Structure 1
Amino acid sequence: MTSMRISSGIRSRAITMAAALAFTSFTAVAAGAETLADALVSAYRNSNLLEQNRAVLRAADEDVASAVATLRPVVSFIAGVTRVSPAPAFGDSLSATVSLAAEVTLWDFGRSQIGIDIAKETVLSTREALVGVEQEVLLGAVVSFMNVKSASQSVTINQNSVRVIGEELKAAEDRFAVGEVTRTDVALAQARLAAARATLAAAEGDLAAAREAYKAATGNYPGTLAAAPKPPALPKSVEEARAIAQRSHPAVRQAQREVTVAELGVAAAEANFGPTLTANARATLDDNGDDDYAVGLQLTQTLYTGGAKSAAHRRAIAFRDASRSALLQTGVTISEQVGNAWAQIGVSRARIEATDRQIRAATVAYEGVREEAKLGARTTLDVLDAEQDLLDAQADRIDAEASQQIAIYSLLASMGLLTVDHLNLGIPTYDPSIYYNAVRGAPATSVQGQRLDRILKAIGKD
């Protein structure tokens, strides 16, 4: 009997050490571990979504070039052959002509310039949309990083739980062999061990899913992940955070640009009622060597369109009103997001403090119940329940820590500050002005575009 109690005491000390190390071991950082900054950089460099929206922005840049081109002359080459069929006695005849024609708009009541302004504002709006996509990509990297981190910690906890309950089962079997406990105690330990193994399998499945999500977000599978870094500085109050969001969030800035576009659309619809003055020139050469030239001015004014222009004007006014309302609603939505993220940070901090106290208390309770069980004052079920309480507290602590980190970066995103530049990640970023400056003058060749493509590829892959 004495030797059995000594053996049980050795096992108990081993179990105590394992339980104590289970949670603290999560903070150890292996050399060369991947940091959150590494994940953010990988997400930025490997995002297909960012590449897609950069291409959308370049298409919007080309709309500026197209609008500028409307103010330039249009030169046409015309070649024609005409068959003339006179009276049968004279037979058919063919004549050929070659013409060069040019036409330029001199004045169109401001429609062309308004079109250029609309295209430019659309470019600025699309740039803000690209910033919004960048925030989504980076927040996705944060979420995937924290999910992998917490999932791997959960696996470690459950692996430890399986080991601890396995030791409890051995102790119960030994005590049953000498008549200290009943077969019921052994069965309870066996059932709890089977449940722990099932929970471990589920945790391993969650980790596998989190790893796949990490690869989708960053372009590669995670290695050993470092501890979450010290979060960026946050505003002192939720009111300050909301004020920053209303000034900086890309959705708000995009909505402001869209209001400007809609107002310009109303101006364009009004200008569409005005006349157009064009100049034209034409030079023609026929197959007899005869040539002629013509130069002229043409003023056109549509008098009646069946109400189409009036309808277009009313439609533009409706779109302007809708865009103004959309701007107001965007501000409301962003303010709500800031408030939610701010509240979540507070909740997570409180959860962390509470679970830390819970873990300390559960550890003391677990050790005490186990010691009392050795003296016969507690049952095997009491020990298993205490161990489960400690496991639940550790799991809650992991979830609270992950939730806090995600809430902090969600707050940055809701303020419009979750960008590579603001986070100081130290990598080359996509400069939307490069392509715009190359094409805004509507160049007729593709040489500049080819050169620009090489520059963009270098920026995107460095």
Structure 2
Amino acid sequence: MRALIWRLGVAAGLGGALLVGSQNLAANERMDLSEAYRLAVEQDPRLRAAQARLRASEELGPQARALFLPEINLEAGANQNWENAEIGDQGRNSFDYHSWNAGVTLTQPLFRRESFALADQAEILQDQASLEYATSQQDILLRVSEAYFDMLLAQDNLRLTEAELEAVQSELRRAERALEVGSGTVTDRDEARARFDQVEAQRLRAQNDLQVARENLRSVIGQPPRELAGLRDDFSAQPPSPDAPEVWTERAERNNLNVRLAEGEFQRSRTEVERVQGQRYPRVDLVANYSRNFQSELGQQGAGPGPDFAGEELDSEQTTVGIRLTMPLYAGGGPTSQAREAQAERDAFFEESIDARRQASLEAESAYLNLVSNLRQISAFEQALQSVLSTERSTRRGLEVGLRTTLDVLNVQRDRFSTQRDLAEARYNYLLNYLQLQVAVGSAIDGSTIDDVNFFLAQRAEDEVDDLADMEEIETPENDDFPDGDQTE
């Protein structure tokens, strides 16, 4: 399998991983993280809404170009006219006639300062829509990953609880047999029974937690999830590369999507100031007009002889080409007020961009520190698991020779299962914090980051599911075949 050094410095064969993952998925019908992410992308309404807004933003380009192209209008009208007029000493006369007119006007903008600002705004808004879509992709990436690992953790917790319940039940049967033959005590039996009831209650809670986690994942991917692929047995957490928090914070301040969105809003607010100020400048347009006017014969009523042109039709054509200048002088103070408003908004967006950089730096540093902490926790829990397994072996041997009690065995069993739960949670948190670190630095825009993490998920065989349930079979001092604690599934 080809080796691929992923962003955290973890050796991963991504191409081979996808091939192996798809083959195992077909064979075992297990759902992995990449498939869950694909389903979420297809079904998530938030992402589809962002896609629609992205398509809408694509129309801003043609709208910006239209500001510099000519505008052509057709005008036409028809009227019926009644006119009553007194002309000199000829007396009062009434006329009725109909008329119509038609014309075409072309207006080509030559200079409109605000149009340049509007064109810049359109370009910025298109970039903002792309960033918002990328932010939605990051959001669904985190939501599906959190839901996926929450369900895995709930599955692990239930399996461990069932294995612990079986182990406690075995101790209860041993205590009852010992009491029957006279080598045990009532106290041992009662303590084992009380622990059995406690673990049974934990199992019921674990079942409910798993159902809640399954429903949460279903709501994200849009369908009931199948059994999930868990961590591979050879999973090994590696430190981030580069192993320096200041490098990650610098990347976040430069590439974080929220930072880029805030900077885009600041740039848009600057162009808005230019647009408002541009309204004070003159507008220069080239105007060309062609029109035709028609007036019918005058119908005359009254005693007077009427004008000399009575009974004649009027049909005229007119063509004009010229330059039109429009200079705003006074508009009640509205443009000046709008300019002050735009400047204040610009200052607000500038401060918000500074805050966005600080927040991105904090998120990156927090994710980095959490990642380092997860590494140390994983190492500590793995060592603790080896220690508790050794302690359990010694405690069982001590019970056989009368130096330990049933309660001691039950307590060390509880410590073992608790450590396994903590180890599983630390491993899942490690992968989640890796994803959060990539989001903080703006590198988790598509599914490639999911594929990096998905490499560490394996399609397990059916006979491996009950491995944890076999861990309670530690009954004799000669049995030294203990699991290494790495299987938390």
TM-score normalised by the chain length of structure 1 = 0.78
Amino acid at match of 1:169: L
The correspondence for 1:80, drawn from 77, 84, 96, is 77
Instruction: Select the structure that is richer in helix.
Output: 1
8 Å CA contact 2:284–2:326 kept in 1: the answer is yes
Unaligned runs of 5+ in 2: 1-23, 86-91, 297-313, 453-489
In structure 2, the partner of 1:316 is 342
What is the number of equivalent residue pairs in this alignment?
398
Structure-2 separation of matches of 1:36 and 1:367: 37
Identity %: 21
Partners of 1:98 and 1:260 in 2: how far apart?
A: 48
The answer to whether the aligner puts 1:292 opposite 2:295 as a matched pair is no
What is the rounded CA distance, in whole Å, between the counterparts of 2:261 and 2:387 in structure 1?
51
Secondary structure at 1:99 match in 2? strand
Paired residue for 2:54? 57
Correspondence for 1:436: none
- 2:291 is aligned to 283
Asked if 1:223 is matched to 2:230, the reply is no
Q: Structure 1 residues 423, 383: closer, same or farther in 2, change over 3 A?
A: closer
Name the CA shift for 1:280/1:191 in 2 (closer, same or farther; >3 Å).
farther
- Counterpart selection for 1:189 from 187, 192, 207: 192
**Is 2:371 aligned against 1:345?**
yes
Q: 2:396 aligns with which of 370, 392, 406?
A: 370
Q: Which has the larger radius of gyration?
A: 2
**Mapped contact 1:34–1:222 kept (Cα < 8 A):** yes
Match of 1:211 in 2: 214
Contact 1:189 1:384 (C-alpha < 8 Å) held by counterparts: yes
Structure 1 residue 294: deviation in Å? 4.4
Are residue 330 (structure 1) and residue 356 (structure 2) matched? Answer: yes
Q: CA deviation at 1:107?
A: 3.1
Shift of 1:156: 1.0
Q: Write out per-residue CA displacement over residues 269-316 of structure 1, whole angstroms, 9 at most, x where no aligned residue.
A: 221101122325242454748353343443222211121111111122
The AA in structure 2 aligned to 1:270 is Q
Superposed CA deviations along residues 137-168 of structure 1, whole A, max 9, x for unmatched, are 11222222222222111111011011111111
Residue identity matched to 1:62? E
Q: Does 1:256 align with 2:263?
A: yes
Aligned partners of 2:259, 2:342: CA distance in 1, in Å? Answer: 21
What is the letter of the counterpart of residue 63 of structure 1? Answer: L
Q: How does 1:111-260 map to 2 (within 5 A)?
A: 111-220=114-223, 221-227=225-231, 234-260=241-267
| Secondary structure of residue in 2 paired with 1:97 | strand
Q: SS at 1:290's partner residue?
A: strand
**Residue type of the alignment partner of 1:95:** H
The corresponding residue for 1:400 is 426
Q: 1:38 aligns with which of 21, 35, 39?
A: 35
Equivalence for 1:269: 276
Structure with bigger strand share is: 2
Gaps spanning 5+ residues in structure 1: where? Answer: 1-28, 427-462
Amino acid at match of 2:124: E
| Distance apart, 1:70 and its partner CA | 2.7
Corresponding position of 2:332? 306
Q: 3-state SS of the aligned residue for 1:199? A: helix
Secondary structure of the 2:444 match is coil
1:224-261 C-alpha deviation (Å, 9 max, x unpaired): 31426778974331111122222322222222222221
Over residues 23-64 of structure 1, what are the superposed CA-to-partner deviations in whole Å (9 max), with x where a residue is unaligned? xxxxxx985443333333333343322221121122222233
Match 2:98 to one of 74, 83, 95: 95
- Report the CA distance shift for 1:71/1:164 in structure 2 as closer, same or farther (over 3 A): same
Aligned 8 A contact 1:238 1:342 in 2: yes
Asked whether the 8 Å contact 2:34–2:450 carries over to 1, the reply is no
Q: Which deviates further from its counterpart, 159-168 or 202-211?
A: 202-211
Query: What's the Cα RMSD here?
Result: 2.8
Q: Does the CA contact (< 8 Å) of 1:79 and 1:97 recur in 2?
A: yes
Offset, 1:124:
0.9
SS at match of 2:231: coil
Aligned to 2:384: 358
Contact 1:81 1:96 in 2 (8 A): yes
- Whole-Å Cα distance in 2 between the matches of residues 285 and 204 of structure 1? 86
1:443 aligns to what? none
CA distance in 2, matches of 1:65, 1:96: 40
Give the match's secondary structure for 1:420.
coil
- Structure 1 letter corresponding to 2:289: A
